[in-house]
Amino acid sequence: MTTAQGSGQRALPPHPSFLWRNPDPRNSYDVVIVGGGGHGLATAYYLAKVHGITNVAVLERGWLAGGNMARNTTIIRSNYLWDESAAIYEKSLKLWEGLEDELGYDIFFSQRGVLNLAHTLQDQRDSVRRVEANRLNGVDAEYISPEQVKEVCPIINISQDIRYPVMGATYQPRAGIAKHDWVAWGYARRASELGVDLIQNCEVTGFDMDGDRVVGVRTTRGNIKAGRVALAAAGHTSTLTELAGFRVPIQSHPLQALVSELHEMIHPTVVMSNHVHVYVSQAHKGELVMGAGVDSYNGYGQRGSFHVIEHQMSAAVELFPAFSRAHLLRTWGGIVDVTLDASPIMGLTPVDGMYVDCGWGTGGFKAVPGAGFAFAHTIANNEPHELNRPYSLERFVTGELIDEHGAAAVAH
């Protein structure tokens, strides 16, 4: 195996044994974060680092970062349409650009660019519009021709005789991928060093209230008093808010992905296509990583239907004929929390002292640093950060939706 820089194949460093302490829960914390995925861990880190709040526990019902954080396809980009989205995703991308230094941990962040393909006239128009919007928001973006697509990604089929020929693409050179597990572990290690208790196998099963205020959580490892409670439970958020007595407008769906066996490095960038429902990158070890759209039905089963994979594979093979010889190695699913405007929900809730960060759906990995940063601010100040103010629950009442279906529908 060759080891190279950038998008080349890289050997993984040895697996460390202990990156964080594994304490028993204490009986009281200033802040309890429910959910030890990327968002919960990043939030804990920024609470401790930026706001000096270290009497914090992250409660995780399974093992650390074993939910969507372990299951996503790691695409990072900030080329969303609306100003509100550009602001938070671009903040996140800037944090990604300094994250290896910040965490003192290798996360294989690789800015290999992302192509979002256009296959119809409407796609083309939407893409050009999005590129112009991106530029106005200081997000790097260009609209490129099929020939330029081929230059960026030589293995792609741009011939006219396929069902949905490539008519162009948006290109964000600063986009890329990272190694998801290490991102979680990097945050976990630093948070733990700063005093945060990371508590695994600890499921939150209820809340203790004093009037309208939450004062504690009930868990499978006992009751814990909490000054503030922050929900970062992704697909399980509505099961928790029901326990706390309010609803969130999310629907939980299975979302699947898969990988091939290891190959030589042949795919230098990230390619996504909303129209034919597939996206592909090649991980540092060499496996082709592919995902598609959500299964249509609600589901908590962490698995989806096979025909979704079949559909995605037929699209992949048409766009990348070389893949027809590749073997599928593993498929899996996560549970994603989908909102009707394809934008997240982040902020205060009807319960005093309770905060929610959810609704990232199919695309919240890229947001881990930015969302953690803004959510920590929200919890510390009992007030949203400017970045997440537009993402309040109230927007569903005022009608100020942030419709990102164009930039986020299948795309992650």
Ligand X SMILES: Cc1cc2nc3c(=O)[nH]c(=O)nc-3n(C[C@H](O)[C@H](O)[C@H](O)COP(=O)(O)OP(=O)(O)OC[C@H]3O[C@@H](n4cnc5c(N)ncnc54)[C@H](O)[C@@H]3O)c2cc1C
By the criterion CB under 6 A, which residues form the site for ligand X? 34-40, 59-62, 65-69, 71-75, 203-204, 232-234, 236, 240, 255-257, 291, 334, 336, 360, 362-366, 412
Residue 300 near which of ligand X, other proteins, none (CB within 5-8 Å, type-dependent): other proteins
The DSSP bridge pattern shows strands 287-294 and 278-282 to be antiparallel
Residue 34 near which of ligand X, other proteins, none (CB within 5-8 Å, type-dependent): ligand X
Residue 2 near which of ligand X, other proteins, none (CB within 5-8 Å, type-dependent): none
* DSSP letters spanning 108-147: --B---EEEEE-SHHHHHHHHHHHHHHHHTT---EEE-HH
Nearest to other proteins of 235, 369 (CB atom): 235
Q: What kind and span of H or E run contains 294?
A: strand 287-294
Is-contact 335 70, C-beta < 8 A?
no
Cα 232 to Cα 34: distance, rounded to the nearest angstrom: 6
Q: How far is the CB of 341 from other proteins (least distance, A)?
A: 9
Nearest to other proteins of 148, 251 (CB atom): 251
Nearest to other proteins of 17, 398 (CB atom): 398
Cα 364 to Cα 74: distance, rounded to the nearest angstrom: 9
Nearest to ligand X of 89, 323 (CB atom): 89
Cα 48 to Cα 25: distance, rounded to the nearest angstrom: 18
**With binding defined as CB under 8 A, does residue 252 bind other proteins?**
yes
Q: How far is the CB of 339 from other proteins (least distance, A)?
A: 8
Q: Contact with other proteins (CB under 8 A): which of 62, 245, 249, 321?
A: 249
Terminal Cα-to-Cα distance of the chain (whole angstroms): 30
**With binding defined as CB under 8 A, does residue 243 bind other proteins?**
yes
Q: How far is the CB of 405 from other proteins (least distance, A)?
A: 14
Q: How far is the CB of 257 from other proteins (least distance, A)?
A: 18
Cα 141 to Cα 396: distance, rounded to the nearest angstrom: 30
Cβ of 73: how many Cβ atoms within 10 Å?
23
> For residue 59, what are the CA distances in angstroms to 119, 206, 364?
44, 13, 19
Nearest to ligand X of 94, 150 (CB atom): 94
105: left (phi over 0), alpha (psi -120 to 50) or beta: beta
Nearest to other proteins of 159, 398 (CB atom): 398
Nearest to ligand X of 59, 139 (CB atom): 59
Residues numbered 253-312 forming contacts with other proteins, rule: CB under 8 A: 296-301, 305-307
Residue 251 near which of other proteins, ligand X, none (CB within 5-8 Å, type-dependent): other proteins
Nearest to 55 by CA among 84, 20, 28, 75: 28
Nearest to other proteins of 233, 289 (CB atom): 233
Residue 37 near which of other proteins, ligand X, none (CB within 5-8 Å, type-dependent): ligand X
Site string for other proteins, 306-345 (x = CB under 8 A): xx--------------------------------x-----
Cα 389 to Cα 249: distance, rounded to the nearest angstrom: 17
DSSP state of 85: H
Q: Which amino acid is at 7?
A: S
- Residues forming the site for other proteins (CB under 8 A): 236, 238-239, 242-243, 247, 249-252, 296-301, 305-307, 340, 396-399
